[in-house]
Amino acid sequence: MVTASNSRASSFGRIVLYAVLGLFCIYYLLPLYVMLVNSLKPLSEITAGGMMSLPRDWTFAPWLSAWSSAQVGVEATGLRPYFLNSIVMVVPAVALSTLVGALNGYVLTKWTFRGSTIVFGLLLFGCFIPFQMVLIPMARMLGLMGLAGSVAGLVFVHFVYGIGFSTLYFRNYYAAFPTELVRAAQIDGAGFFRIFLRILLPSSGPIAVVCIIWQFTNIWNDFLFGASFSDFSSQPMTVALNNLVQSSTGVKEYNVHFAGAIMAALPTLFVYIVAGRYFVRGLMAGSVKG
Amino acid sequence: MSFSEKANPRGSVGDRLRDALPRLVLSPSVAIVAIFVYGFIFFTLYLSFTDSRILPSFGWVGWHNYDNLFRIRAWDTAVSNLVVFGVLYIAICCALGLLLAILLDQRIRAEGFIRTIYLYPMALSFIVTGVAWKWFLDPGIGIEAVVQGWGWTDFKFNWIKDREMAIYTIVIAAVWQTSGFVMAMFLAGLRGIDGEMMKAAQIDGASTFALYRRIVIPQLRPAFMSAFVVLAHMAIKSYDLVIALTGGGPGTATELPATFMYSYTFTRNQMGIGAASAVIMLMTIAAIIVPYLWSELREKK
């Protein structure tokens, strides 16, 4: 989609083009740069107006403090326990919602029944509701289930509200899977689960990665449920980071805040860098037609 | 395509079980969603008509909470903030996303690398984004202090502390986080455009500008639709970013409906009013999402 021409004007145009693209790279990277350099310098350098400069005294102390000794809420535990909470919360929630989503997608494409599109539509709408709408009854329900203020409660909540998107991914993926293969296997006498395990599941790798990455990113980054349904011992990382930064006691240790922010960002950032392609696919499938 | 159209309507129990198996597998999800999405929506809807304060209670008060809600100044602020934030957020994200997509679509070397950089903020939590921008925009240590340190001692950039301007800092941070995603949506749209038509127009001597205005951008309508729906629903749900960036302040200058709902329900013990505000949020989102899902699902059939 480019006007092919090799005049001098056009090569000047290319230079401008690359310069503009480069400027935008700086724009997007700037906050990351700010977080990184300021997490590696003493507080005095930041308060002296040196936020944009590289550290003069490189120090790893803010990272250590953010990890294991900074004041988070009422306790000086650092972010470590909350990082672990997030991991304990994310792993089962992602696994459960992905597994259930795969089965749902299989049913909704290969075993359709009257009204299955409506069922899918109702599942899907659940992804988009403002979760403010479920906070009050969910708080009560978790209480009734004995899961109030626990990591298990958060796992449950994320599983429940993750089903919609997982189903969307697998449904759209399996819709393109040749139904003739399923029918042939059925004629050969293979049952519902056998067809799923032997025929669909082996080729579900890519969409499973997409789904896992999407759920992982969403659940790790969630704040609203974490803030609403956890207590001091079960807070996830995002809530703890917010408490660290907003705590009003004593001096504001900006360098510690930045180190903590990077810690909260690292898992999802790592996944993005390693498997960005799948992350983008997930984003697009969640918005544009699959 | 349907398999369950009864091979054998009067089969044995085993046959019937086999026929019902797919629906049985689906049923736990349906039950969960029926309770935890639709049941809860109904519950909150009901609460919005009751005298619930610190705990749910079931004394019917009719439209009282809604009457009150629209008389509360903080709600008024939250709604007008949402309008300002939503319009700017959607418009700037779309403009920036489209511009970047068009620029990236010029056979750029290292396109994948640049795209990775533009899109990485989407992988971050809004809390992380909020923390980064909170201190970056802080006049005491952030960009204002830095530029003053470089010699421009008159430089001022204290929007985040300014009641009038603080809402725009939310726009800045939110655009930073999401515009790369909008770029990716438009880029996917651009890649789907028929190249033949472009060539024909070029041969006819259309300028690049005319080419984009007349041929390319009109064909991006589906991408615009998706971007609008995604951004609008993100704007209405915006909560984390405000909490991390400004905490709703200074004063109530950056309250949005989502923060209003939370504070009225859980800290001010006005659960009935909180529920009413949640219902209004849901209605607004439903007005955008339902037609969209409807058309998407119908097309797919």
> Which among A268, A272, A280 is the nearest to B184, CB-wise?
A280
- A287 and B226 within 8 Å at the Cβ level: the answer is yes
* Higher local confidence (pLDDT), B206 or B162: B162
Please give the CATH topology (third level) of the domain spanning A80-285.
MetI-like fold (1.10.3720)
pLDDT digits (tens, 9 = 90+) for B23-35: 899 999 999 999 9
Quote the DSSP letter at residue A201: G
Query: Considering only A132-136, B60-64, B120-124, which range has the smallest mean pLDDT?
Result: B60-64
Residue B66 in contact with partner chain A when CB distance is under 8 A: no
For residue A74, name the pLDDT band (cuts at 50, 70, 90).
confident
Confidence band for B71, pLDDT divided at 50, 70 and 90? very high
Measured distance CA(B283)–CA(B280) in Å, rounded: 5
Q: What is the mean pLDDT of residues A176-201?
A: 90
Report yes or no: B91 at the A interface, CB cutoff 8 Å: no
Both structure tokens of B1:
């395509």
% of chain B at pLDDT higher than 90: 52
Q: What is the pLDDT of residues B141-181, one digit of tens each?
A: 888 888 888 888 888 888 988 888 999 999 999 999 999 99
Contact A258, A38 (CB under 8 A): yes
Q: Nearest residue of A to residue B128 by CA position?
A: A261
Identify the residue with better confidence: A10 or B245: B245
**Beta carbons within 10 angstroms of residue A91's beta carbon:** 13
* pLDDT over 50 (residue A289): no
Per the CB < 8 Å rule, is B18 touching A269?
A: no
Which residue range(s) make up the domain with B156?
72-300
- C-alpha closest to that of A28 among B17, B227, B122: B122
Task: Inspect the interface and report whether the beta carbons of B132 and A245 lie closer than 8 Å.
Answer: no
> What residues of chain B lie within 8 A of the CB of A212, using their CB?
none
Is B48 a member of any domain?
Answer: no
Interface of B with A in 178-237 (CB under 8 A): 180-181, 184-185, 188, 190, 193, 195, 198, 202, 208, 216, 222-223, 226-227, 229-230, 233, 236-237
Contacts of B118 in chain A (CB under 8 A): 24-25, 28
Measured between CA atoms, the residue of chain A closest to residue B2 is A112
> CATH 1.10.3720.10: which residues of chain A?
80-285
Q: Cis peptide leading into B250, omega within 30 of 0?
A: yes
Residue B14 belongs to some domain of the structure:
no
ipTM for the complex?
A: 0.91
pLDDT at A288: 43
What SS3 state is found at A3? coil
Average pLDDT value over all residues in chain A = 89
Interface residue A136 vs chain B (CB under 8 A):
yes
DSSP letters of chain B? Answer: --S-S-S-TT--HHHHHHHHHHHHHHHHHHHHHIIIIIIHHHHHHHHTTB--SSS----B-TTHHHHHHTT-HHHHHHHHHHHHHHHHHHHHHHHHHHHHHHHHTTT-TTHHHHHHHHHGGGGS-HHHHHHHHHHHS-TTTSHHHHHHHTT-TT----GGG-TTTHHHHHHHHHHHHHHHHHHHHHHHHHHTS-HHHHHHHHHTT--HHHIIIIIIHHHTHHHHHHHHHHHHHHHHH--HHHHHHTTT-STTTT--HHHHHHIIIIIS--HHHHHHHHHHHHHHHHHHHHHHHHHHHHHH-
Is B192 a residue whose pLDDT tops 90? no
Distances B5 to A59, A109, A178 between C-alpha atoms, Å: 69, 14, 19
Residue B39 within any structural domain of the chain: no
Q: What is the pLDDT of residue B282?
A: 95
Check residue B3 and give its pLDDT: 46
Terminal Cα distance for chain A, rounded: 24
The 3-state DSSP class for residue A75 equals: strand
pTM score > 0.80 for this model? yes
Q: Do A163 and B281 touch (CB under 8 A)?
A: no
Nearest CA in chain A to B135: A254
In this predicted structure, the answer to whether residue A121 has a pLDDT above a threshold of 60 is yes
CB of A167 within 8 Å of a chain B CB? The answer is yes
CATH number at residue B155: 1.10.3720.10
Distance from CA of A204 to the nearest CA of B (A): 19
User: Which of the two residues, A128 and A96, has the higher pLDDT score?
Assistant: A96
Q: What is the pLDDT of residue B2?
A: 44
Whether residue B174 is contained in a domain is answered as yes
Q: What is the mean pLDDT of residues A16-22?
A: 93
pLDDT at position B6 is 45
CA dist A269 and A31 (Å) reads 14
Interchain CB distance below 8 Å, A49 and B226 = no
The Cα-based distances of A227 to A139, A149, A222 in angstroms read 11, 10, 9
The string of pLDDT tens digits covering residues B40-58 is: 999 999 999 998 888 888 8
Which range among A261-275, B57-71, B211-225 has the greatest average pLDDT?
A261-275
Q: How many domains does chain B have?
A: 1
Asked if B176 contacts B132 with a C-beta cutoff of 8 angstroms, the reply is no
Nearest to B261 by CA among B249, B252, B272: B272
**Chain A residues inside the 8 Å CB shell of B227:** 287
